[in-house]
């Protein structure tokens, strides 16, 4: 379910810079910094590009449940909403991991 990389890079100059940093060889050695920075930028500046919940993604299920519980209790849940948007933005860049078990 990853998006067209060109669409992400074309969203703005900062997207292009962050995407380039995320695909550099040093960024692929397990250091999540550049990818997380790009996901945060997409969630904050380009929410219209961020996909909905990914079926079968345990983290999407967990964050969705947290947001529903916060809403039921009348809480804002801004931190959970931000985490959810950033997580969903990661699905633009890579398909959700297959569930094990």
Task: For residues 27 and 32, give the distance between their C-alpha atoms in angstroms, rounded to a whole number.
Answer: 7
Residue 100, domain member (yes or no): no
The gap from C-alpha 87 to its chain's centroid, in whole angstroms, comes to 3
Print pLDDT tens along the chain (101 aa).
345 556 666 678 888 888 878 777 665 555 568 888 889 998 999 898 899 999 999 999 999 998 899 889 988 778 888 999 999 998 887 766 644 43
Complete DSSP assignment for the chain: -PPPHHHHHHS-HHHHHHHHHHHSGGGGSS--HHHHHHHHHHHHH-GGGS--PPTT-HHHHHHHHHHHHHHHTT---HHHHHHHHHHHHHHHHSPPPPP--
Residue 22, domain member (yes or no): yes
Number of compact structural domains in the chain: 1
Residue 101, domain member (yes or no): no
| Per-residue pLDDT at 34 | 82
Range of the domain at 43: 5-93
Residue 65, domain member (yes or no): yes
Residue 18, domain member (yes or no): yes
Query: Is pTM, for the whole model, over 0.75?
Result: no
Residue 49, domain member (yes or no): yes
| Per-residue pLDDT at 22 | 75
| Per-residue pLDDT at 86 | 93
């Amino acid at each position: 379910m990853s998006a067209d990389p060109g669409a992400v890079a074309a969203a703005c100059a900062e997207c292009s810079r962050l995407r380039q940093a995320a695909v550099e060889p040093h960024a692929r050695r397990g250091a999540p910094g550049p990818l997380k920075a790009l996901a945060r930028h997409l969630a904050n500046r380009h929410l219209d590009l961020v996909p909905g919940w990914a079926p079968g993604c345990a983290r999407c299920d967990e964050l969705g449940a947290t947001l529903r519980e916060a809403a039921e209790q009348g809480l804002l849940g801004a931190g959970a909403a931000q985490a959810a948007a950033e997580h969903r933005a990661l699905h633009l860049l890579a398909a959700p991991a297959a569930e094990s078990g």
